[in-house]
Amino acid sequence: MQCPQCGFENREDARFCKRCGHVLQGASPPVILTCPVCGAALKPGARFCARCGHECTPRPGSASPQEHQPVQPAAPVPVSADRDAIRPPVKLVGSGLSKPANAKRAERSIVGWWLALVALGLMFCLSCCGVLALGLLPGLNDTPPAAILGDPNGHDITILVREAYLNENLVAILPEKGLKDASLDVQPNNLLMTTANFDLVFVSLELKIMARLSVVDGEIVVSIEDIVAGGSDLMQFLNMDEVTLGKNFTRALREQLENELGEGSRLLDITTDEEHIILKARL
Amino acid sequence: MNTQLKSGLLLLGGVFLGLVAGVVGGWLLVRVLDKESTVGPLPPLPAYDMEVIIEETYINRVMLESSNALTAGNVDMQPGGAATFGVQLAAGPFKPVARGAVAFRADGAGGMAVQLLHVKMGRLSLLRLVPGSVMDEMNDIVNTELVGRVGSKGLEVVAVASDETSLRLYLAQRE
């Protein structure tokens, strides 16, 4: 193409005269690319907008920049903080880019990522469960230890009632009238020796009760072996005879021991040592 | 790169990463679950009025009768207020066996407290997975069936001990 100003012969596609710089008529106008989001002018070959960061890369197969039509840069728009939310699809101004092809490609890519994520999640759960199952597996093949249930007629519990505890409650099972002090001595061979001192008006008298414990048909039996009442004066003072005293003592002691056993228990045996009454029962 | 090839590689990567992460996660979970409780030694025996010796055989009977979820099992008393146990659970088609240890102590309020020290099914520790309500229920059963059935109303548990074959409760009159 010849320059109309200086006559220099330029290349056919030259836009300016190589010698004088005059604009050559008929040359293809410069392509001005703009960002579809903010409207800022893009340099040729730029992949991202320098102002808003929007990706403006032309896809392979899209029209060459030479095919773009010149346009005036659009008025700049304010950049929103939520740019991604308003980001429109990639668009080259004046290009003949195929929009559905790009969208399909993007969709395929998203689906691929989703599939990978789902596979990751599934495999995570499966292998996590697998590790736990491996830990549990020996427990599923384990044999439980055989329960030791013992003799069906044997005792379940043994209760050792201390002599001191019986002494604390002794006053409750003796006549209150004139009672000064009392003590219960547990002896071997199921014997109980109870000694009580009564203060009479002019004289102190001592009451001794020797009792024997046994079990008959699951019931505690307290048998009075001997009562030494310090003569008839004490019985007159207590207003009772030896039989009544023995019965009262027996009933009260038996009730106390049965209380310790609890309801529904079956007494199997009763013994004594130097310090305890020992009850054996099945619950 | 071919889109299909890329998707395939992504999928494969996801599977592999999931596998690795799952194995690591499972191992970490096993480590996190691995827990054992400890209890201090038994305190010195205080003054008491009555000693109740409960046989291991009775504890076994109570345990098996207390829950339909247990098909078999045994409690083995140990010295120092402790016991080991092995129980078979009825869990649908499976019959897993759990093994563990418990400690018995006086709860300070007149009753007895049972504390689970460890429980395992296979190599997996389940102590962290045992809900508090199960332990509460176990304590209720123990206090009803063991403590509640002996001693008159005015007595409370002040100490607990055990030997190879029995559990010992020490009761004293309430002040």
Q: What is the pLDDT of residues A90-139, one digit of tens each?
A: 444 444 445 567 777 778 778 888 888 998 999 999 988 888 888 888 88
Q: How far is B38 from chain A (nearest CA, A)?
A: 23
Query: Lowest-confidence range among A13-22, A88-97, A147-156, B105-114?
Result: A88-97
Q: In the predicted model, is pLDDT for residue A65 greater than 60?
A: no
Partner-chain residue, chosen from B16, B26, B155, that has the shortest CB–CB distance to A132: B26
Which residue range forms the structural domain that includes residue B17? 1-33
Tell me what the mean pLDDT of segment A270-274 comes to: 91
CB distance A261–B13 less than 8 Å? no
Flag whether A201 is in a domain: yes
pLDDT of residue A232: 62
Statement to judge: residues A162 and A276 lie in one domain: yes
Q: How far is B66 from chain A (nearest CA, A)?
A: 14
Flag whether B26 is in a domain: yes
Which residue of A122, A129, A131 to mutate against B (max B Cβ within 10 Å)?
A131
pLDDT of residue B76: 92
Q: Chain B partners of A261 at a C-beta cutoff of 8 Å?
A: 150
pLDDT of residue A74: 45
Contact with chain A for residue B129, Cβ under 8 A: no
pLDDT of residue A96: 46
Quickly count: other Cβ atoms within 10 Å of residue B151's Cβ: 23
Q: In the predicted model, is pLDDT for residue A49 greater than 90?
A: no
Q: How many domains does chain B have?
A: 2
Statement to judge: residues A87 and A41 lie in one domain: yes
CB distance B123–A135 less than 8 Å? yes
Dihedral pair phi/psi, residue B28, rounded to 5°: -65, -40
Q: Chain A partners of B61 at a C-beta cutoff of 8 Å?
A: 149, 156
Statement to judge: residues B118 and B150 lie in one domain: yes
pTM attached to this predicted model? 0.67
Flag whether B66 is in a domain: yes
Contact with chain B for residue A103, Cβ under 8 A: no
Statement to judge: residues B61 and B18 lie in one domain: no
Flag whether A134 is in a domain: no
Tell me what the mean pLDDT of segment A16-36 comes to: 72
Statement to judge: residues A162 and A65 lie in one domain: no
Tell me what the mean pLDDT of segment A60-68 comes to: 43
Flag whether B38 is in a domain: no
pLDDT of residue B147: 81
* Greatest mean pLDDT among A74-83, A248-257, B23-32: B23-32
Statement to judge: residues A168 and A257 lie in one domain: yes
Q: In the predicted model, is pLDDT for residue A78 greater than 50?
A: no
Query: Lowest-confidence range among A9-23, A25-39, B62-76, B160-174?
Result: A25-39
Which residue range forms the structural domain that includes residue A169? 157-282
Distance of alpha carbon A89 from alpha carbon A75, whole angstroms: 19
Flag whether B163 is in a domain: yes
Statement to judge: residues A21 and A69 lie in one domain: no
Statement to judge: residues A38 and A67 lie in one domain: yes
ipTM: 0.83
Q: What is the average pLDDT value for chain A, to the nearest integer?
A: 76
Tell me what the mean pLDDT of segment B118-134 comes to: 87
Q: How many domains does chain A have?
A: 3
CB distance B60–A147 less than 8 Å? yes
Flag whether A113 is in a domain: no
Q: In the predicted model, is pLDDT for residue B108 greater than 70?
A: yes
Contact with chain A for residue B164, Cβ under 8 A: no
Tell me what the mean pLDDT of segment B80-90 comes to: 90
pLDDT digits (tens, 9 = 90+) for A251-271: 888 887 877 777 778 889 999
Statement to judge: residues B153 and B69 lie in one domain: yes
Q: In the predicted model, is pLDDT for residue A88 greater than 60?
A: no
Flag whether B63 is in a domain: yes
Flag whether A276 is in a domain: yes
Q: Chain B partners of A135 at a C-beta cutoff of 8 Å?
A: 30, 122-124
pLDDT of residue A125: 92
Helix (H) or strand (E) holding B124: strand B124-125
